[in-house]
Structure 1
């Protein structure tokens, strides 16, 4: 015997089932949201505790060093910085990446430029130290403000002021394209140490992490999956930057960055190097720089052979020699980011200010090399990742460049 249920009861039953399922689903979402909020609150507490621990350690250290003066300092103090002049060389290198005598030289160079600007009553030494600490450590603005006794907004203003001063005063002095005797010494060093003739440097690009900008963020999203800005640089045998180009979005290919740089324009016009040739296997070879497979092969820019059907022992030897000489640019990028660690983590500064900070780090990199500041092995603990060649090389072979590279095969053999 069949029992018929009124359709109103069926609809009511289905409605109750749907209501119960919806309530369970909403309860699950609410529970997940509460768990996420709890995790975020836990992370904030941990970060706050770390900041307070750093500040308390600095204040406690200063209390031990000079307890009499410490008790008279007000709420806006710079006790940590006030004690810095009495510290040893290790303290200066750990916090400012250079010894105190070299720091004083840097302050003397920037003093005329900085004293023309309003420094909010701070000394040149304090302003320069604050900028170096910002560039060399992953500390946040709050920690730096507490260590130097200034406001967070003042930290940003002073750092940009020092970066602009470095570019105006030191750029042309410390980032110099090799000419004359310096060029001759560079070519000789590459041939004697790396076995590559007529080489004046190596070019490559590296990505500087940034926060995704509000305008055109997709342009800065690189092939690695994060937002970045590109630094293209040429490096000589002493790991010094001789040419830099900063500012292209991370999505741009290395070859396109090169083609839009003054380096490419001078190279194509024949203005990059003097006409110093060396005959190799009957071919006059000009002065060149070395690049990875992402770059085009040009008479003034050498790159390795692609592994194909005609790739043999001679091509393998050429690639080995070129790669060994080109490692100077990889090492320079590694030391640049190891010494100035703001380039290793995501930079939270305004987009227009980042090229100035990157350029300043390159200037400081050369400044430290020129003043024999030894790069400490412990600075590599941040695991600097060398940039790998981009997967899609650009094929733009000029016949004369191909002849030059083929002539080098017999030279290396």
Structure 2
């Protein structure tokens, strides 16, 4: 590592040397160990290097063991300890509720980059492939037929994770995850919008989030009008105005998809089958999301070659089933969606 060039740091650890050393200092309170009369403790820098190598490459523990001259069990401990330390010590800085300034900046970016106004975040899911668990394996079968842990993420216009729920079997309904999450409670109470709300279409209105068809429509969560296959018998065909809304929404939902691709490209333990135990995988996913936010916030370079490599090698993310009905009252939400539909139609003429 003393001979590494800047490109070497990026290739091996997916971050600059400066960010690596910053990370070591932040994690030192949890990762530092005392020397004993029997052996010298591994330096924090080596513990972090071992764990990052694993997260970045997903190579086998025995390969990293030989590379760093430590035991296989030591590699396992380094990965586990660092992931827990990241979640414990860095969540408050890099995975937290946004400030009013961050909300406004995210709304500006969704409007300028993705063509969707008055929106601060978009929601999607991430399936991480796992080995067969010892219990309840059928619960982990996702819609594509392979075993996974399912994560729910909310992504800002800056391409940062604002909220991550990462501990659900792959067969879980995303709508159930959302309705039992702190994000649901916060957004429903106006927690993702400044007070007073910003003006949109001449009136103060709360910011909205965007979500795929697997989520319920709410006043604060815009989803697409159901396409023909998801419509009930007797429903009228979609109008051109509704189709235009769906196209604009679909375009804006590329934002979280591109962020997840960058996440999996940087931390390839999430793009290949993860052979860690289910007690570690959710913490590892959270840690990778925090590391993504840290690297992006620090302006660390991202190599397009990583993205191309992942896009060619990994299995496509499963398509979650469309939510065909909801027991929730959606009348107010339909009115909000109609406002956005009118907005797009006016600007399309």
Whether TM exceeds 0.5 here: the answer is yes
Counterpart in the other structure of 1:89? 6
Query: Are 1:101 and 2:28 counterparts?
Result: no
Q: Is this contact kept in 2: 1:283–1:407, CA < 8 A?
A: no
Q: Is this contact kept in 1: 2:94–2:290, CA < 8 A?
A: yes
State how far apart, in whole Å, the 2-side matches of 1:314 and 1:214 are. Answer: 50
Deviation at 1:88?
0.9
Query: Are 1:156 and 2:88 counterparts?
Result: no
Query: Are 1:297 and 2:224 counterparts?
Result: no
Query: Are 1:114 and 2:114 counterparts?
Result: no
Counterpart in the other structure of 1:77? none
Counterpart in the other structure of 2:199? 278
Going from structure 1 to structure 2, the CA distance change for 1:196 and 1:392 (only over 3 Å counts) comes to closer
Q: Is this contact kept in 2: 1:285–1:404, CA < 8 A?
A: no
Summarize the alignment of residues 197-212 of structure 1 with structure 2, pairs less than 5 Å apart: 197-212=117-132
Ranges in structure 2 where 5+ consecutive residues have no aligned partner: 229-235
Query: Are 1:245 and 2:175 counterparts?
Result: no
Counterpart in the other structure of 2:336? 404
Summarize the alignment of residues 195-234 of structure 1 with structure 2, pairs less than 5 Å apart: 195-234=115-154
Spell out, residue by residue over 1:100-121, the C-alpha distance to the aligned partner (whole angstroms, 9 max, x if none).
Answer: 1221111122123322678961
Report the more deviating stretch, 293-302 or 88-97.
Answer: 88-97
Summarize the alignment of residues 9-408 of structure 1 with structure 2, pairs less than 5 Å apart: 84-115=1-32, 121-275=41-195, 276-280=197-201, 285-308=205-228, 309-380=236-307, 381-383=309-311, 387=317, 389-396=319-326, 398-408=330-340
Q: Which structure is higher in helix share?
A: 1
State how far apart, in whole Å, the 1-side matches of 2:111 and 2:319 are. Answer: 24
SS in structure 1 at match of 2:285? helix
Deviation at 1:214?
0.7
Identify which of structures 1 and 2 has the higher relative contact order when contacts are C-alpha pairs closer than 8 Å and 6+ apart.
Answer: 2
Deviation at 1:200?
0.7
Deviation at 1:279?
4.0
Q: Is this contact kept in 2: 1:294–1:391, CA < 8 A?
A: yes
Deviation at 1:408?
1.2
SS in structure 2 at match of 1:233? strand
Counterpart in the other structure of 1:38? none
Going from structure 1 to structure 2, the CA distance change for 1:184 and 1:354 (only over 3 Å counts) comes to same
Going from structure 1 to structure 2, the CA distance change for 1:402 and 1:284 (only over 3 Å counts) comes to farther
Q: Is this contact kept in 2: 1:294–1:389, CA < 8 A?
A: no
Higher Cα Rg, which structure:
1
Going from structure 1 to structure 2, the CA distance change for 1:243 and 1:90 (only over 3 Å counts) comes to same
Deviation at 1:194?
2.1
SS in structure 2 at match of 1:315? helix
Deviation at 1:233?
0.4
Counterpart in the other structure of 1:59? none
Q: How many residues are treated as equivalent by the alignment?
A: 329
